[in-house]
Every structure is written in structure tokens, then in C-alpha cells.
Amino acid sequence: MLDRLQHLLRRVAHLLDRLSARTESPRGRRISLVASAVVFAIAMVLSLNGLPEGEHELVWWAILVTALVGIPTLIVLSAVEYTASAAVLGHQVRLREALPIALYARAANLLPIPGAALVRMQALKRAGSSYGKAASVTMATALFWMGGALLVGGVVLVPFHILIAVGFLAGGVVICALGYVAVRSIVARRGDAPHTGEAVRRSAVLLLVEVLMVAIRGVLFWFVMIGFDIGGSFQGAMVLPVAVVLASALGFFPAGLGVREVISGGLARLVGDTAASGVLASGLDRLVSLPVMAVIAIALAISGHRLMPHGDGDGTGGLDPDEEAEADAAIEHLFEDETA
């Protein structure tokens, strides 16, 4: 079963790599950015026209809570996520060291490549892991993120569309199970003789962090709905993180720009909200997030934080040249099409 899973993950990774490669050229990046911007603009304009007539007032307390509390909280949780994924590989990363990595990973998602994954993989390699192991644990973390979002979305949809809710819940369980299998494989191959239950413990921590991130993201969407007076319900806000996950899976679009908004509109309709509320909540969330991330990034740069950690002396330090060559070869074979 494990061999089949690894074969499937390699083929999926290879397919995504081929799709993402189309946007790596300057021309491909321009096309991706322009297409995403056009879809985003059209979705926002149509949604603004679809709002109920009347005056819409800004609720500043909700906007400020989103910007000054919510966004920094998500960055901290992203750092906790990174420390949890590093622990699967046997690395002990302090939260203070993980914060700049989490911030730059979120910023890298603005590129038309799977930026966050690349930043975290590079950080894990600098901590002492091969690219192959870093890619494996990054994939496992992404599976728990997707599975957690589907589980939360499924619970929210139960009172509205039971069949869709069951599909979300079943998908979430299956994807989380795949994440656990991946973590178990990684832990089993570590050379430090980990405890028997470590794979279960590490998987539980990752799932808990991902579910918490999804829930907080949903609450922040609700605050955006309140702050900009665009309508929408709490249930509608809590299902929108599924759009974030699905759009992020399309790594060749910069931060899922435009795609996330379209998916958000469809998800909002599932709970009885207008599509406009979902689209605008997703789009306005971007406008609130970017300035806050910029300020935090400047503060980190001024304070002298480094993006990538150096190897330390506790057994997780740098690799020797032979190990480096083996590590670099691993990532090449990870995305190799075995049927070629």
C-alpha cells in the first residue's frame, strides 16, 4: 500500500510540476499574472454590482481585529505548523526561528509557483534534511491542511447539503489518512530510533494545527464580511477556507488570485449566502492582509531575522558532500515520471 501511495504522490507531484513549469518563463509569468488579475477584477466588479442597494458602512473594529490580531495570529500558526513538520524529520526548531520562514513562505505564495512549499523545503534542507525528505514532509503537511479544511467545511455543510457534507467529510478523512501514512513512512526511516507512537503523535499535532488555522481563517472571513458590510453568514465564512486550499493547489496561479474568489462565490451559495458575499470576502481579505504582512516583513528585516536557519550541532546540522549529492538527486527522482 505504501509503495502505491508513494507512486501516486510522485505522479501527482510530477503533473503539478509540469503545469507549474509553464509559468516559470517570463512570458508564462506575465500570462499567469494577467489572467489571474483579469479574473479577480471581473469577479470583484460583478460582486459589487450584486450587493443589495443601499448604503454600506465600514465597521472599523472588525477590520482592525482582522488586520492587527487575525493576520499575525495566522502567521504565528504557520510558524507552529513549520515547527511541527520539522519535528517529523527529527529537527527541533524554535518558534522564533520559524516566524520569518512562515512569513516569507506566505509572501512567496504571491508568485506563480508553489512558493510556500519551496521556501519551507529550502529551510528544512538548511536544517539538515535532504530535499527528498523535505518534499515528503511538506506534502504530508499539505495533505493535513487539505483534509482539515474539508473536515471543517463538511461539518458546516451538514445542515444545508447533507450529501455534499458527507463527500467533504469522507474526502477529509481519506486525505488525512494519506497524510498519516506519509508521516509514518518518514518517521520509520529516521535513524534515531523514534518511539513507536511518534507517527501518531506528530500526525495528531499537524492535524490539530491545520484545523485551528482553518477555523481562524473562517472567523477572519466573517470579520471581513462584517467590517465591509457585504452581507453573508458565519456559516458562509467558515466554509470559505476550502476555497483557499483548492486555489492554493493550483500553484501556478499567484496565490490563487481570481480562482479563489470564484470558488468562494460557489461555496457561499451552498449555505444560502449570495455569491457576491463570498467573492468579496475573499478579495477584501487579500487587501487587508497584504499591508499587514508588508509591515511585519519590514519589522523582521530591521530586527535582523534570517530567512533560512543554519545547521546546528545537535545532529541536525549540515550534510557532507556525499550526502549533499544524494539529497540533490532525491528531489530529481521525486518528480521523475516512471513511465517515461
Pick from 131, 138, 84, 74: nearest CA to 106: 74
Cα distances (angstroms) measured from residue 295 to each of 51, 64, 72, 103, 205: 32, 15, 11, 11, 30
For residue 124, how far is the Cα from the chain centroid? 17
**Cβ neighbours for 33, distance < 8 A, ≥ 6 positions apart:** 112, 254
Question: pTM of the entire structure?
Answer: 0.75
What does each of the 340 residues of the chain score in pLDDT, given as a tens digit? 545 544 554 555 454 445 444 444 555 555 545 555 555 566 556 555 555 566 678 899 999 999 999 989 998 998 999 899 888 888 888 888 888 888 777 766 655 445 566 666 667 767 666 667 777 888 889 899 999 999 999 999 999 999 999 999 999 999 999 999 999 888 888 766 566 688 899 999 999 999 999 999 999 999 999 999 888 899 999 999 999 888 877 655 566 667 888 899 999 999 999 988 999 998 888 888 878 877 776 776 676 655 444 444 333 344 444 444 444 444 344 333 333 3
